[in-house]
Amino acid sequence: MRPRFLLDEDMDPEVRVQLQKKQPEIEVVVIGDPGVPPKSTPDPIILEWIEHNSYILVTNNRRTMPGHFGNHLKTGGQVPGILIFRKKYVIRPILEMLEMIWAASDAEEYRNKIEYLPL
């Protein structure tokens, strides 16, 4: 199964727009979209949502998300994966990395992992 992505509300919304222009088949939703957690949802609830809906979280939250991720796993939770980008990162490399991950990876490769990007 190819990865599906949930963009954190702090990610530039242009990421989804440009990614879907390049690869319309990529499934990308954003916090606040219908059917996903609303804006300002606490991290632990986002982790529960991605667990139950099989989306990899794409975020730039290096401050609190890793701790919540660790707590989620300690309590028996699972996550499809978390991709954490730098806050001050331009869109083009993010698009290229997400497109590459989508095209060349199986969603299971990221299960219960955090990847800090760029590598």
State how far Cα 37 lies from the chain centre.
13
pLDDT at 118: 83
85 touches 58 (CB < 8 A): yes
Q: Which residue has the tokens 């989508």?
A: 102
Mean pLDDT, contiguous 10-residue spans, the chain (119 residues): 95 94 95 97 98 97 95 97 89 93 95 91
pLDDT at 59: 96
Two structure tokens written together for 29: 């939703």
Question: What pTM was estimated for this model as a whole?
Answer: 0.96
pLDDT at 105: 94
pLDDT at 56: 98
Coil vs helix vs strand at 77:
coil
**DSSP bridge pairs for 117:** 85
105 touches 71 (CB < 8 A): no
